[in-house]
Each structure stands twice: as C-alpha cells, then as structure tokens.
Structure 1
C-alpha cells in the first residue's frame, strides 16, 4: 500500500508535504516545532494538519502490521490462496481486514465446529447448494457411530451454513450499510424509574435515526443505560435484511430451499444481528468520542488562552461556610506571602471580625484584586467583600470571581505538596485561585486537564484518547504563548516542545542552584539537555532582560545570524532594530533567503522583531453579576444579565450567572441569524449578555437566550428539554407571516 500517497489524496495535500512531515516526525521533531520553524519544509501546514498526517500514518502503519499478521496466520493454516491474498492486500480499513480473516480466525468451539466434528459438512454443502440431501442422509444415519436422527442432523448442518452466511464479507458490509442508513435508536425507562424525575427523563420513550443522533445525545442514552435507568436498543429493518440475504444465497432455479431459508434466518438472528449491533454501538461510541473530544479540546484551548490578569498582587479566597473562607496573598510573580481564615457568613460578630482581618491584610499588602473561587458560598463572600470595600473606601480594588474547577485536585497533588510542603491543602487551593487569575495557562497546566471540567460526558469518552488530545491542546497552547525560562514551573516547562518531565525538573533544579538564566545557550549546561532538545525547545522559551535581546523573542537561535545580518545591513544594533517597525519594513527579505530559510520564516522573524515577546492573550474583563441574584430562585423570566461562558457543546453554550448553576443558551437562541456551531458566536471565558427564558428550580435548569429581544420566537425545545430532543413529524403549519415562518423553518433544521 502506498501509505503516503493515500494520505496525500485523503487530506488534500501534496505527496512531498506528507513525505517531509513523516520524515521529520520520525527524526524526533515535535509538531509545535515543525509548525513554527519548518514552514518551508511543510508548505506552512498548521498543527491540525500535521496531527492529521501523523494520526493517519499511524493508523495505516498499524493496519499494515495487522495485514502481515493475518497473511502469516492464514498461510500457516495452509489456506492462503492467491485470490484470498489479493482480497487482503486490497483491504483499505481494519474492519475489512478483520472481515476477511474471520473464517480463519481461531475461535472458541462453535456449534458449527461441533457439526463439522460430527461429519456433517457435506450435508451443509448440499443445503447451501440447494441439492436434495435425502440419499446422503440415509447413508449417514445408517452408520453405527451416529446417534443423531434426521431432524437433528439437518439442524446441526444448518449451523454450519449459518456460520458461512455470517462470514460472507460482501453481505455483511451491505447489512452494515442498511442498518446504519435505516436503523433507529430506541430507549425506554425501566419500570422502577417510570414515576421518577431523573436527568434522563427526556429519553424515557425516545427514538432517533442512528445516522442522525448527535454525540451528546448518544452519550446521554448510553449513560442512562449504564446507570440502570434506561433500556436501549437499535431497531433495524429485519425483513429487508433477510430478503437481501436470500437474494444473495437462494437460487431461484433450484427447488430445495426450505433448509437454506431456515439457515439464513438462524444465521441472521443468532450470528449477524448481535454482531452488527455490537459494531454499530462501537461505531456510534467511537464517533461520539471523536466529536466530543474535539469539543472538549476547543473548550480547554479557550480556557487555557483566557485573558490574564497579569502581574498584580492578589488576595485569593477559597470561600466556605462552616469551615470558613481561606485567604492567601500572592505577589506579582505568584509568590505566596500570607494566609488566614475568615468567617463572614457565621453571624454578625464573625462578620465584623472578618472585616477587621481584611482591613489589616489590605493595609499590609497593597492588593490590586480580590479573587474569589466560584464554588460554595461564593456569592455570599463576594457580597461581603463588595460591602467591605465600599465602606472602607477601597473601591479601586476589584473583586473578581475565578473559576475554581480543579483547584481541589491541584491542592492535594504531588505538585502542590512539592511547591508548598508546609501548607494545608485548603490554602494551596486559595493560592491556585489567585494565580489562576494572574496567568490561567501557567496555573492550569499543573492540573490534569480532565479535572478542569471541559465539557459534558467527558468521563464517558475513551479516556486514553481524551488524555492524548487534551495533552496536545495544552502543549499547543504553551508553545503558542511561550514561557519565561526564569519563572516557569516544571509543570509548565514539561509541555514545551522537546522537553520531558525529567528535563523540565532538571532546568528548574539548575536554575535554583545557579540563578536565573542569562542566555538560551546556557540551557546546554543543564544535565541531560542535548543539542536536539535545545533545537526543539529554545525558540519557545523566553529570557526577558537577558544578555541577548533576541532571547526574549520567538526568533529561534538558529536564525540569530540572519537578524545580525539585517541589523548590519541597516547599520543598526540588534537592540535598536528590535521594535523598529520602520527599519524592519524597509528590508528586502529576498536578500536573506537561504537553502533552509525562505520567505515564510523570514516574514515570521520580522513580525516577531516588530513586537518581541508579545503575549497573544488579552487582558482580563470579568462579568458583572447582578447583586440581587444570589440563587437560582432569584431568577425570573425576562431578566437580562451578564454571565461568563463556561462550556461549549454541539447544542449550545453554558453560562455562569453566579447562582451555582450554569444556564443553557440553546444553539437556536444564540444569535439572530442561523448558526451551525456555538463557536461562531462566542468561546469559553467570554462575557455575554443573556435573557432568562425559563427557570426550573426543582431540576436546576435555566434556559437563556442571547438573541435580540423580539428577534424571532423562543425555541420551546431549548427552554424545556435543553438537549433538543427531536419532535414527532407534523404537517407543516404557516402563520401567513413570512419572517415568522422562515424563522420557524430555520429552527426546525437546526434541530436535525
């Protein structure tokens, strides 16, 4: 198989691009490095395209290994014919290979194997060929060793025929197509839950075509089945499938068909149907996993690249009721300075005591912001802080809610224990909250990405694939932003291109023993840090105020000679050239092209020199929560509020309104225009204005809209069912108003 040519055709890139990418990956180059510093080699392929090439190459390599294994196994059995080998060599998918291998696969003792041991294969061949079996049967039954009667012999022979039918490669593929195209997922509630309200209530009696069910609904159905609340089956057109099997196996010119028909029915019912249903469930799960993991990855990316508060002194508070609210102070670099506990929700005496403590803290530490975790007691603590700042005349200090997802995981982790061995884990959580505001990326990399809370059903998808995907998202974000070599933690450094966890720890250890790095070249003095690691990582690590001004930029050290030549040609020093847009704009880049460095890299160098070390992230802007809305019961239909997007899904977005329960903006309520994807309108961490459509306090569900008031009717599915359950087909209705009818039609297609 021409793997590289196949990948090129499938992905719409050139064979040369694929060949070069695969070669560079096999040489140990990382995807961030290739995407950033080898654009001439790849034709400026981005990280997504590079990963697609890598993933497809890995799949095809695994398939080739499996192909060789199958050929060897069948050959050892002495059953490898030229025709079979040709079929195996033509197979384009792992599924096709396994279908061809099935008849030769070592199996447990089947009913067909038992029948063969009884010498009934000739009888099976007669049934298959629709020949009269009577004379053969009479002879067989007269043998002294045979203990079967005629009916049992026929029944056992049909077991062999049924197995042959189930191993018909072309037939099975066609049955898959029929089941996928016409199959329907059907669910029903188990009797013991019929009268109860659960989160799976919309699936108590539910059906949807297999080919159309979106990932989130399939994963919800599957979870409902696993929790013992739902029954779930896939209904397929049985009669149509049996007719198709008969058309392929029955010969109309021959009369002996009764036994073959019985074998066909048995083969389908006992062997094909269960097998195909398992395959369909696996395919649905695989596709739902891929779809969901993509959404989770996008959510994580937006969370990691969220606006940063920057270098500010922060008072971080992990709010609580009985156990109190743990507070810490961290300086502009995130260094821990002081800690304590306040009890502002435990009566007036404790409230006054909390105010006194807060006053002393702010006198000693000129904090710019007070960051409050958005968990239990957050609204109560926020109200206390706002009132205190107002009375104390310190309204220049900004109180801010910070998403604390995963903070408790971090506080109990080995990383947190290494950072703060003498601190109680509750204070470690407060530090994480404060630092998360300063630099979300630097702090969140310390937490397992799966613990941050990046989407619904994240625990239902393939965990190995999820971890790989999320780790790659973190790697991509870290290298996109770059890291400060002299302040980055080992956790952050471990995601830098080309660095392992051991290398990252060695860098931090060397820095602790020898002081701050003055140049990137000094990295080569770090134990186990060789030239390859330097090549892959150096461009992503910055040294502000170092000995070499280029070390604070994203210009790779291998390209420093080019910058020196540019400066010399302009009769400027490198220090003067950096940031000098006029001088940089006057350069003729063609004069600096070499065999390895072309226009793409030169343009990147000039762009970076114009704004060296610029952080691509924006400054933090927080949502202004309504002080009168503290709990879900305070919400009312028609309210217009500000909130922060916490999650994107295929059916809409979840928004934090500060009431401990996120509201849902259904896809159909996100914009006045038609949209296919929530990311067309907003991203995780963005501040949005919403209107309350409905509130279900008992079920803790809030339906919201981002549409302009009066722009089209609210979608009743969005406000009631939240997950866009498909409605029964009804005769089309019109109102006579074209605008309203078009809006209704648009909503209809959005829910398909």
Structure 2
C-alpha cells in the first residue's frame, strides 16, 4: 500500500473520500481489475464509478513507481552516510518525479564538468569563502591570490575566481526550491514564441498556420501544442519560451546576496547569472515542455478514448444476413453477402470506367445479389465514393420497394485489418478488396466484435491523435476497448480470441485456450465449465466469469451480468417472493417489494443487490442501443438541395468539446455547436449521445463556399422530418421494421442483433434506470424524461408527415 499522503492526494484529485480510495487500492493490490471493481464491488468502494476507478488505478501505479524510486535513492544516501531527518522529510514530501530528482540532485555522482574541474584545482575553499560573505574578511580578490598555482593550472586571480563561480553556479543550479520556482514561472508566465525555419515549400505550407505564433504557454490548447512540438521535431519550426530573464536572475540573486554593496555581491551575481543561463534555463525549459506535452497528450488521449468508446458502442444491426459494399480501389466496387453469423457467402465486383454508367452498373449488380439472397440490410463503406453509392442504393430500394435498410459504415482501421495476418487467416481465399467488404458487412452486424480485430490506434482518426506518443495512445485505446467489452459482455460460445482477450482477467493465451476448449466441447453450457480450463484459477474465474455470457445454457442467469458469486442471493430473493425467475423477468415490479438490506454480505450490499434486481428484469438483453438507420438520406443529393429550417436525420460521426459532427448524407458533415445540443444534455453530451447513433437535426446555416453546414439538435426536438417532395422514401423501411418487429426479428428483447441473444453479450445499467428501493420523482426529472422521449421517439410524427405528403400528391394527380 502506498503512503497515506499519496492516498490523500489521489482522493483530492478525484474528489472522493480517502476511505473510498484506500478501499479501491486494496482491491487493486489483490489483483482485481477496474471493470470488476466498478461492477461487483460497489459496496466496498461506496459506489465509485469506472472513470474514477481508472484514475485511482493510474495514480496508484504512478505512486508505486515513485515510492520505489524514492526508497532506492534514500538507501543510496544512507550508504553514503549523508542522510538527515530534514533530508528524509524532504524525500517523503515529494509527490512527483521532478521534485524527487531535484532533492536527490546534490547527491548524484559528480560529472567531469566545470565545477568538478575547479574543485580538483583546489578552488572549493575559495567558493566557500565567497558564499560565506564575511564582512570582516578581506575581499575575494585578495583572498583569491593564495589560490594561484601553476602546478594546479590556476594562472591568475581571475582564473581562480572563475573556477569558484563555476562551483557556486553548480550549487545554485542544484537548489530544489530554485528549480521548482523557475519551473512554475516558465509554466505560468512565459510566452511560447514560434520562429519559422527555412524548409521546403510543402513542409512550410503544412505548418503555415503556426507561423509567428506568440501566446502564453498555459493558454495554448493541447492540440495546438502537440502540433507545434511535432513541427519542431520535423525541423519545420523553432519553439522558444520567452520570459523576463533579468527579473528572474535578480530575484534568485536576491535570495543569496546578503549585502548588495559588498565585494562578494558581484561574484555571487555573476555565479547566479551563469547558473541560470547555462545550467537552469535550458534544462528547466525542456522539463516544462515535456511536462506540458504529457499533459496535452493525456487530454488528447482522453478525447480519443471517448471517441473510441462511442465508436465501439455503435448499435449492432444484429445476426441477420446483410450485403457489404466497398470501393477499395478507384472505379472498382465490391459487393459481398454474409449470413447471420458473418460467414462469407458470395461476392460480385463491378468495375466502372465511365462515370455516366456508374448508377446503372451498381443498380444492376446490387439487383442480382438481392434476387439471389434475402438480406435484411446493406452496409456501405464511408470511404471514397461511399456517399455517392449510398444515394444510388437508396434510390434503387425506393424504386423496387425492397424491404432492406441501408447505412454508411465507418471505415476506421479498415486498411489495418485488411493487411493483417488475422484477415488472411479468416478469409484466405479472398483478395484485399473483398476482405475489406466482408469487414464492412460484419461491422454492420456487430461493430464491437469486428472492430476489436483491428490495431486499436488505427481506430482513432489521425486528426485527433496528431503528435501523440503512440505507446501512450495504444495504452489508452486498449483501456477504452476493455471498458466497453466488459460493459457489453461477451458471448462465450461465439466470441473470437480477439474479443475474449479484452475480458477482465483474461490474457491472449488464456483466450486461445478457451476457444480450443469450446471447439472440443461443442459449446459451453455453464459458466462453471471455465474452471476446468488450464490458466483459469479461482482468482481469474472471479474476475472474468460475470463478463462472459452463455445463452440457452443450463442456468438462465449465465446469460446475464449477474456474478456467479451472487446466484445464492437470487435464489433467496425468488424464495422470498415465492416466484420463478421467468415470472420476475416478466414482471420486475415485484422486486420492489423486497427489503434489500435483508440480503447480501460484506462485499455484496444494497448497491450490488439493486443491480441484480435490475438485471433480473432484462436477462439476455444487449447493453447497446437498438439499431436504427436514418430515414432521409435520399432526400438530399448535394448542398444545393439543403435549405435552412430543414429537419433531417443523420449519424453522429464525432463528439468534441465544442460540438457534434453529424453525417446527413453529404460529402461534407454538419456541425452541431455545443450551444445547439440542448439544455438537458449540454453539460455532457457524451453521456447521452454516441458515435454511430441516429440524431434528428435542423439545418441552421449553409455556407456553400466554405462547405460548412450548421445544425441544431434542440431546435429539431419536437418537429417532424422535412419531406421536400411527395414520395414514399421511407415507407419500405418503415413497413419492413413494423412487420419484423411483429415477428420478433428486430426486437432487441427477443435477441435481434446478438446471435444467440448477443454476439457480444449484455450487462450495462441503463441511464434512465429507476431505483428499485425508493422511487424518486421531481419536476426537473419529468421535464428531462419528456425531452428525451421527444428526442428519441419521432416515428409517429414522421409517419403523419409521410401520410400528409401522399395525400397532397394524390390531390395533385
């Protein structure tokens, strides 16, 4: 366990109680993972959420390394016989590596520098004499005469004084307080000035926006700072921290000079100036820039993680046959059909040399596939030409009245997957173009299961991670994937090795053993089967079991996020209610009659029991939202078709601090500024919205020349979708959805979208979850729920608008 002051530091940083931090660290020290603690040890940590636990885990690791380094340094000083109580207290007070190294600096082995050379010449006593600044002693010029010695290569008084100043400069530069103060001043008071460098035209143009920048360091955004540092590494720009050096030198000298009019003042002033310019300023400036770069990287990586989490939570279309379309090469369009399990069935390649024939060729190829196989949907790569193909496909579906939905699929990391050994292993008989198209189709069925096959860094747009250290980015991306995989859960009988490796407590090797055992058994029928696998001991089983789902197994609870250690509590609850599991699932309100305080133990208390009750009412459901493609992509073919006040639906492609980017079917994405998101989700839009979700927006502003589209979510909340002309654009899809919901094919509750009730599983608490023990209501809560209902449920209004358009069209006829 780390020191108490470190625990208090973490508690202050994460705005939690010291006892909560100590409890979480105790669990981590016993081998518990963040997902496990967040979900199944809520009562031990008193409800710490996953983001705070992640931060506690990171800071605990940092302080463990810091403590190890501190103990090693203190042990070394003990061996030198130089340890004092004051020095020990200084070491124990260090809370970061820079401060720790500052305290240790005077005890490091002396290098062969100017101070060491002067000391070897016997000038250490002269330096001590000057530093003492005795008013009754002779001036340093006279005292220095006794140090002139040819055999020691001290040929003059000036050389002796210069050597003494070198020694004093070294001592001043080693002062921990001076270093800390200078570091703080450069961070908060300095200006970052950018100087252009003579480079080739292309490199100069790339960073032209940064030229002649002059701004306070603390006011520069993380993205800009990383871009500047990258430009400096490429020798395209030169960066400099500018501050009033003379003022700092005077301030430092004032701390050491006892009498400004004494003969010693000039020598100490010169030593301070030398120490600052030669030993302090360059080193501390580098340290400040490195520290600021790491802070900027942490901020950018945090945004990348949020983006990746949102991407991985993209709603799955489910285990239904689909067509994938991808233009991997110019003028070459690949079509593939995969079945409900994602298995490749057939393909078609259309090559078009004449753009005028593009629409006809694509329609012809797609028609042939649709006639040969029955499919539920079509996924089109969002890469080059994707939006154009989307519009062609939409027109074809409307014309032929085929009951299939169509959507653009994000192609993040597609090239990385296609060229990987895994892609060759999975699809050995296909070329790169068809492998890419199969991946697009599978991403439509289950984005999470397909995206985990890709190098995590490749899933993050390069524009978001510019200048970020790849190792740090990879660690953050892996952490985000682990978080989502464990939130959604994994189907033990269908999951690939690449998905299983991210499950809490499992490593790649164990994941491989699990898949081998699955092939041997045919399928797992009970979670306890995991205990028979080599590499899964009691501790590993505890960490991973609840995140692995078994559908249609021996125990219905194995399809839930309820931990096996809590199955006994479920039995007690059912016995108390005199009900079966199926009865409780059909009527979860019965659970409200339970007094949860009567159940549980030291690790399973009311918070965990509340989660159990909630899960009993939704066994086997997917934690991700229901899939629904936009209804109006076909309504607009270019920015010329847009009009202000139009209400459209689009897909969220990115969520940033300043707004949300939405694809409304054009090459140019629209931007919903933060102020136009809506009051009820303005503070934290990422809590409600996610990449891949369908959102209704109103067109506020159109700037043709700049290719900018301004959108609003809050203005579109209560309005129906705009129908520019009378036609049945969304009728085929709406009829298909209605018919299939009646037959439970598209009903998430009955297993749509997850193979055998979830290709990736289930297990996340909904944000609108009601308390199972105390029902709370408020006017603010009612307003929020009303707004959410209006935002998420627009089907009725859209159907009425469609009916109105048809009536108008009939009258015109």
Global fold match (TM > 0.5): yes
- Decide whether aligned partners of structure 1 residues 292 and 189 sit closer, same or farther in structure 2, where only a CA change above 3 A counts: same
Maintained 8 Å contact 2:325/2:381: yes
Work out whether 1:486 is the aligned partner of 2:493. yes
For 1:167, the equivalent position in structure 2 comes to 174
Which residue number corresponds to residue 239 of structure 1? 246
Any idea what SS the aligned residue of 1:362 has? helix
Q: Please tell me whether residue 229 in structure 1 is matched to residue 236 in structure 2.
A: yes
2:553 aligns with 546
The equivalent position to 1:325 in structure 2, one of 325, 330, 333, is 333
**Which aligned pairs between 1:720-735 and structure 2 lie closer than 5 A?**
none
Partner of 1:435: 442
Match of residue 39, structure 2, among 33, 36, 39? 36
CA distance in 2, matches of 1:681, 1:528: 39
Residues 282-291 or 574-583, more deviating: 574-583
Distance 1:383 1:659 in 2: 9
Task: State the alpha-carbon separation in 2 of the partners of residues 343 and 384 from structure 1.
Answer: 16
Q: Deviations over 1:115-152 (max 9, x none)?
A: 11222222222333346123332222255443523333
Q: Where does residue 720 of structure 1 map in the other structure?
A: none
Is residue 384 of structure 1 aligned with residue 362 of structure 2? no
| Structure 1 residues 666 and 196: alpha-carbon distance in aligned structure 2, compared to 1, 3 A threshold | farther
For 1:178-327, what aligned pairs fall within 5 Å after superposition? 178-192=185-199, 198-252=205-259, 255-256=262-263, 257-320=265-328, 322=330, 324-327=332-335
> SS of 1:578's equivalent?
helix
CA contact (8 A) 2:147 2:160 kept: no
Match of 2:792? Answer: none
Displacement of 1:277: 0.8
Deviation at 1:595, TM superposition (A): 4.3
Shift of 1:414: 2.6
1:509 paired with 2:516, answer yes
Partner of 2:793: none
Preserved CA contact (<8 Å) 1:520 1:543: yes
> Which deviates more, 12-21 or 170-179?
12-21
The aligned counterpart of 1:715 is none
SS in 2 for 1:319: strand
Partners of 1:453 and 1:5 in 2: CA distance: 35
- Which ranges in structure 1 are unaligned for 5 or more consecutive residues? 710-752
Residue 409 of structure 1 corresponds to 416
Corresponding residue to 1:365 among 361, 373, 376? 373
SS class of match (1:327) = strand
Q: Does 1:126 align with 2:129?
A: yes
Specify the SS of the correspondent of 1:40: helix
- Equivalent position of 2:740 in the other structure: none
Q: What's the counterpart of residue 724 of structure 1?
A: none
Whole-angstrom CA distance in 2 between matches of 1:609 and 1:354: 48
- The answer (yes or no) to whether the contact 1:299–1:454 under 8 Å persists in 2 is no
- 2:79 corresponds to which residue? 76
Q: Note closer, same or farther for the CA distance 1:382–1:52 as it changes in structure 2 (3 Å cut).
A: closer
Corresponding position of 1:48? 51
3-state SS of paired residue (2:417): helix
Separation in 2, partners of 1:71, 1:384: 72
In the alignment, which residue of structure 2 is the partner of 1:730?
none
Shift of 1:67: 1.3
> Quick one: structure 1 residues 225 and 168, their matched pair in 2 at CA, closer, same or farther if it must change by over 3 Å?
same
Task: Confirm or deny that 1:65 pairs with 2:68.
Answer: yes
Contact map agreement 1:320 1:378 (CA 8 A) in 2: no
Aligned to 2:612: 605
Preserved contact between residue 636 and residue 692 of structure 1 (Cα < 8 Å)? no
State the Cα deviation string for residues 311-339 of structure 1 (Å, max 9, x = none).
32110011245461122111222222222
Change (3 A) 1:703 1:681: farther
CA contact (8 A) 2:406 2:629 kept: no
Query: Deviation of residue 637 (structure 1)?
Result: 10
Worse overlay, 680-689 or 325-334 = 680-689
Give the whole-Å Cα distance in 1 for the aligned partners of 2:355 and 2:62. Answer: 63
Measure, in 1, the Cα distance between the counterparts of 2:506 and 2:420: 21
Q: Give the count of matched residue pairs.
A: 705
Structure with more relative contact order (C-alpha pairs < 8 Å, separation 6 or more): 2
| Aligned residues of 1:645 and 1:688 also touching (Cα < 8 A) | no
SS state at 1:516 partner: coil
- Deviations along 1:701-720, whole A, 9 cap, x unmatched? 746454889xxxxxxxxxxx
Contact 1:322 1:346 (C-alpha < 8 Å) held by counterparts: no
Structure 2: how far apart are the matches of 1:703 and 1:183?
A: 38
526, 531, 536: which one pairs with 2:543? 536
User: How big is each residue's C-alpha offset from its partner over 1:525-560, in whole Å with a ceiling of 9 and x where there is no partner?
Assistant: 333333332222221122222222222122222222
Q: Please give the residue correspondences for 1:419-458 in structure 2 after superposition, counting only pairs within 5 Å.
A: 419-454=426-461, 456-458=463-465
Q: Is the 8 A contact 2:352 2:358 kept in 1?
A: yes
TM-score normalised over the length of structure 1: 0.86
Deviates more, 1:92-101 or 1:142-151: 142-151
Alignment partner of 1:176 is 2:183:
yes
Q: Is the alpha carbon distance of 1:561 and 1:144 closer, same or farther for their aligned partners in structure 2, counting shifts above 3 Å?
A: closer
Moved more, 54-63 or 76-85: 76-85
Structure 2 gap segments, 5+ residues each:
716-813
CA distance in 1, matches of 2:354, 2:493: 43
Conserved? CA contact 2:416–2:454, under 8 Å = yes
Distance 1:508 1:8, change over 3 A: same
- What is the CA-CA distance between 1:99 and the residue it aligns to? 0.6
Kindly provide the CA deviation profile for residues 209-231 of structure 1, in whole angstroms up to 9, marking residues without a partner as x: 11222211211222232333322
Deviates more, 1:660-669 or 1:541-550: 660-669
**Structure 1 residue 673: Cα displacement:** 11
